[in-house]
Chain A
Amino acid sequence: MSPLALILLACLVWLAIGLLGATFSRRFVFVTRVLFPAGALVAATVALTALLALLTQGDTPHTAMLPLGLPGLPFHLRLDALSAFFLCLLGAVAAGISLYAAGYFRRGQGSTPGLQCLLYHLFLASMGGVLLADDAYFFMVAWESMALSSYFLVTSDHRIAEIRRAGFLYLIVAHVGAIGILLSFGAMSGGTGDYTFDGIRTNAPEGWLASAAFLLALGGFGAKAGLLPLHVWLPEAHPAAPSPVSAMMSGVMLKTAIYGLLRVTFDLLPEQQWWWGALLLGLGLATALFGVVFSTVQSDMKRLLAYSSIENIGLIFAGIGLSLVFAANSMPLLAALALTAALYHCLNHAFFKSLLFLATGSVLHATGQRNLGRLGGLIHRMPWVAWLALLGVVASAGLPPLNGFVSEWLLLQSFLFTPQLPHGYLNMLLPVAAGAIALTAALAGFAMVKFFGVVFLGQPREEHLAKAHDAGRMERLGLIWLAAGCVLLGVLPNFVIAALDPVTNFLVGAGFAPAADKGSWLLLAPISEERASYSGAIFLGGLLAFTLALFFVVRAVFHGRLRRADAWDCGFPLLSGRTQDTAEGFGQPIRQVFAPFFRITREHPSPFDKEPHYRIVVDDPLWHWLYLPLAWLVDLGTRVVGKLQRGRIAIYLLYSFVTLLALLVFTTR
Chain B
Amino acid sequence: MSLYAFATQLLTQLLELLIALALAPLLGGWVNVCRARLQKRCPPPLLLPYHNLLKLFRKDVLLAHNASSLFRVAPYLIFSCMALAAALVPTLSTELLFAPAADAIALVGLFALARVFIALAGMDVGTAFGSLGARREMLIGFLAEPALLMVFFTASIISGSTSLATIVGTLAHHEFAIYPSLAFAGVAFTMVSLAENGRVPVDNPTTHLELTMIHEAMILEYSGRHLALIEWAASLKLFAYSCLGIALFFPFGIAESTGPGALAVAGVFLVGKLAVGGFVLALIETLNAKMRVFRTPEFLGTAFLLAVLAILVHLLLEGGR
| Residue in B102, B129, B138, B210 whose beta carbon sits within 8 Å of that of A446 in the complex | B138
Q: Please indicate the chain A residues that have their CB under 8 angstroms from the CB of B76 in the complex.
A: 547, 550-551, 554
* B interface, over-half SS: helix
| Residue in A380, A397, A543 whose beta carbon sits within 8 Å of that of B84 in the complex | A543
- Do B128 and A579 touch (CB < 8 A)? yes
B46 at the interface (CB under 8 A from A): no
A279 at the interface (CB under 8 A from B): no
Q: Kindly provide the distance from the CB of A382 to the nearest chain B CB, expressed in whole angstroms.
A: 11
Q: Kindly provide the distance from the CB of B257 to the nearest chain A CB, expressed in whole angstroms.
A: 17
| Residue in B84, B135, B308 whose beta carbon sits within 8 Å of that of A589 in the complex | B135
Of all chain A residues, the one with the shortest Cβ separation from B81 is: A543
- Do B106 and A539 touch (CB < 8 A)? yes
Q: Please indicate the chain A residues that have their CB under 8 angstroms from the CB of B150 in the complex.
A: 431, 434-435, 438
Q: Kindly provide the distance from the CB of B276 to the nearest chain A CB, expressed in whole angstroms.
A: 30
Q: Please indicate the chain B residues that have their CB under 8 angstroms from the CB of A563 in the complex.
A: 60-63
Q: Please indicate the chain B residues that have their CB under 8 angstroms from the CB of A577 in the complex.
A: 126
A416-B157, A580-B128 known; A445+B63 contact, CB < 8 A: no
- Do A546 and B123 touch (CB < 8 A)? no
A438-B150, A442-B141, A569-B220 known; A431+B125 contact, CB < 8 A: no
B100 at the interface (CB under 8 A from A): yes
Q: Please indicate the chain A residues that have their CB under 8 angstroms from the CB of B284 in the complex.
A: none
- Do A568 and B126 touch (CB < 8 A)? no
Q: Please indicate the chain A residues that have their CB under 8 angstroms from the CB of B120 in the complex.
A: 449, 452-453, 457
- Do A534 and B315 touch (CB < 8 A)? no
Q: Please indicate the chain B residues that have their CB under 8 angstroms from the CB of A564 in the complex.
A: 62-65
B66 at the interface (CB under 8 A from A): yes
- Do B132 and A581 touch (CB < 8 A)? yes
- Do A558 and B57 touch (CB < 8 A)? yes
Compute how far the CA of A192 lies from the CA of B252 in the bound complex, rounded to whole angstroms: 68
| Residue in A561, A565, A568 whose beta carbon sits within 8 Å of that of B220 in the complex | A568
A523 at the interface (CB under 8 A from B): yes
B229 at the interface (CB under 8 A from A): yes
Compute how far the CA of A428 lies from the CA of B316 in the bound complex, rounded to whole angstroms: 9
- Do B98 and A538 touch (CB < 8 A)? yes
A448 at the interface (CB under 8 A from B): yes
Q: Which of B109-117, B243-251, B265-273 contacts A (4 or more CB under 8 A)?
A: B109-117
Residue-wise, chain A 540-582 has the 8 Å CB interface mask toward B (1 for contact) of: 0011001100110010011101111111111010010101110
Q: Which of B4-12, B23-31, B161-169 contacts A (4 or more CB under 8 A)?
A: B161-169
A399-B113, A563-B60 known; A458+B131 contact, CB < 8 A: yes
| Residue in B67, B139, B163 whose beta carbon sits within 8 Å of that of A530 in the complex | B163
B225 at the interface (CB under 8 A from A): yes
B101 at the interface (CB under 8 A from A): yes
A226 at the interface (CB under 8 A from B): no
A-B contact count (CB 8 A): 266
B239 at the interface (CB under 8 A from A): no
Residue-wise, chain A 191-214 has the 8 Å CB interface mask toward B (1 for contact) of: 000000000000000000000000
Compute how far the CA of A295 lies from the CA of B60 in the bound complex, rounded to whole angstroms: 41
B277 at the interface (CB under 8 A from A): no
Q: Please indicate the chain A residues that have their CB under 8 angstroms from the CB of B116 in the complex.
A: 393-394, 397, 399, 445, 448-449
**Looking at B70, B79, B116, which has the most chain A CB atoms within 10 Å of its CB?**
B116
- Do B149 and A438 touch (CB < 8 A)? yes
Compute how far the CA of A416 lies from the CA of B162 in the bound complex, rounded to whole angstroms: 9
Compute how far the CA of A394 lies from the CA of B73 in the bound complex, rounded to whole angstroms: 15
A532 at the interface (CB under 8 A from B): yes
Compute how far the CA of A446 lies from the CA of B115 in the bound complex, rounded to whole angstroms: 10
Q: Kindly provide the distance from the CB of B118 to the nearest chain A CB, expressed in whole angstroms.
A: 10
Q: Please indicate the chain B residues that have their CB under 8 angstroms from the CB of A523 in the complex.
A: 100-101
* A interface, over-half SS: helix
Q: Kindly provide the distance from the CB of A586 to the nearest chain B CB, expressed in whole angstroms.
A: 5
Q: Kindly provide the distance from the CB of A647 to the nearest chain B CB, expressed in whole angstroms.
A: 61
Compute how far the CA of A102 lies from the CA of B145 in the bound complex, rounded to whole angstroms: 41
A416-B162, A431-B311 known; A534+B106 contact, CB < 8 A: yes
- Do A575 and B101 touch (CB < 8 A)? no
Compute how far the CA of A551 lies from the CA of B76 in the bound complex, rounded to whole angstroms: 7
Compute how far the CA of A405 lies from the CA of B112 in the bound complex, rounded to whole angstroms: 11
A400-B110, A566-B65 known; A446+B125 contact, CB < 8 A: no
Compute how far the CA of A259 lies from the CA of B156 in the bound complex, rounded to whole angstroms: 33
| Residue in B84, B106, B146 whose beta carbon sits within 8 Å of that of A439 in the complex | B146
A416-B156, A416-B157, A531-B160 known; A542+B308 contact, CB < 8 A: no
A534-B103, A546-B83 known; A397+B112 contact, CB < 8 A: yes
- Do B112 and A380 touch (CB < 8 A)? no
- Do A561 and B112 touch (CB < 8 A)? no
B43 at the interface (CB under 8 A from A): no
B52 at the interface (CB under 8 A from A): no
- Do B294 and A592 touch (CB < 8 A)? yes
- Do B77 and A400 touch (CB < 8 A)? no
Interface residues of A in 372-414 (CB under 8 A from B): 376-377, 379-380, 383, 390, 393-394, 397-400, 405, 409, 412-413
A435-B308, A554-B229, A561-B60 known; A400+B102 contact, CB < 8 A: yes
User: Count of chain A residues with Cβ under 8 Å from any Cβ of B?
Assistant: 85
A272 at the interface (CB under 8 A from B): no
- Do B123 and A458 touch (CB < 8 A)? yes
A459 at the interface (CB under 8 A from B): yes
B286 at the interface (CB under 8 A from A): no
Interface residues of B in 185-231 (CB under 8 A from A): 210, 220-221, 223-225, 229
A554-B57, A565-B62 known; A570+B142 contact, CB < 8 A: no
B80 at the interface (CB under 8 A from A): yes
B68 at the interface (CB under 8 A from A): yes
Q: Please indicate the chain B residues that have their CB under 8 angstroms from the CB of A590 in the complex.
A: 139
Compute how far the CA of A377 lies from the CA of B68 in the bound complex, rounded to whole angstroms: 9
| Residue in B58, B163, B221, B312 whose beta carbon sits within 8 Å of that of A532 in the complex | B163
Q: Kindly provide the distance from the CB of B223 to the nearest chain A CB, expressed in whole angstroms.
A: 8
| Residue in A400, A442, A531, A579 whose beta carbon sits within 8 Å of that of B142 in the complex | A442
A472 at the interface (CB under 8 A from B): no
A416-B156, A435-B308, A570-B220 known; A542+B163 contact, CB < 8 A: no
| Residue in B58, B60, B119, B225 whose beta carbon sits within 8 Å of that of A449 in the complex | B119
Q: Kindly provide the distance from the CB of A558 to the nearest chain B CB, expressed in whole angstroms.
A: 5
Q: Please indicate the chain A residues that have their CB under 8 angstroms from the CB of B119 in the complex.
A: 449, 453
Q: Please indicate the chain A residues that have their CB under 8 angstroms from the CB of B237 in the complex.
A: none
Compute how far the CA of A585 lies from the CA of B224 in the bound complex, rounded to whole angstroms: 30
- Do A593 and B297 touch (CB < 8 A)? yes
- Do A445 and B141 touch (CB < 8 A)? yes
Q: Please indicate the chain B residues that have their CB under 8 angstroms from the CB of A432 in the complex.
A: 308, 311-312
B124 at the interface (CB under 8 A from A): yes
| Residue in A394, A405, A431 whose beta carbon sits within 8 Å of that of B308 in the complex | A431
Compute how far the CA of A379 lies from the CA of B81 in the bound complex, rounded to whole angstroms: 23
Of all chain A residues, the one with the shortest Cβ separation from B124 is: A457
B153 at the interface (CB under 8 A from A): yes
A409-B106, A554-B229, A561-B60 known; A580+B153 contact, CB < 8 A: no
B39 at the interface (CB under 8 A from A): no
- Do A570 and B101 touch (CB < 8 A)? no
Sample of 30 A–B contacts (CB below 8 Å): A390-B70, A400-B110, A405-B109, A409-B106, A409-B109, A428-B315, A431-B315, A432-B311, A435-B153, A439-B142, A446-B138, A448-B116, A449-B116, A453-B123, A529-B163, A534-B102, A534-B105, A534-B106, A535-B100, A550-B229, A551-B76, A558-B57, A562-B63, A563-B60, A569-B220, A569-B221, A570-B129, A579-B126, A581-B128, A581-B134
* 10 pairs of A and B residues whose beta carbons are closest in the complex: A458-B126, A459-B126, A581-B131, A438-B146, A453-B123, A567-B64, A538-B101, A442-B145, A569-B127, A589-B139
Known contacts A457-B70, A590-B139; 9 further A-B pairs (Cβ under 8 A) = A377-B66, A428-B315, A438-B146, A457-B124, A539-B102, A565-B62, A570-B210, A580-B126, A589-B297
Residues of chain B at the chain A interface (Cβ within 8 Å): 57-58, 60-70, 76-77, 79-81, 83-84, 98, 100-103, 105-106, 109-110, 112-113, 115-116, 119-120, 123-132, 134-136, 138-139, 141-143, 145-146, 149-150, 153, 156-157, 160-163, 166, 210, 220-221, 223-225, 229, 294, 297, 304, 307-308, 311-312, 315
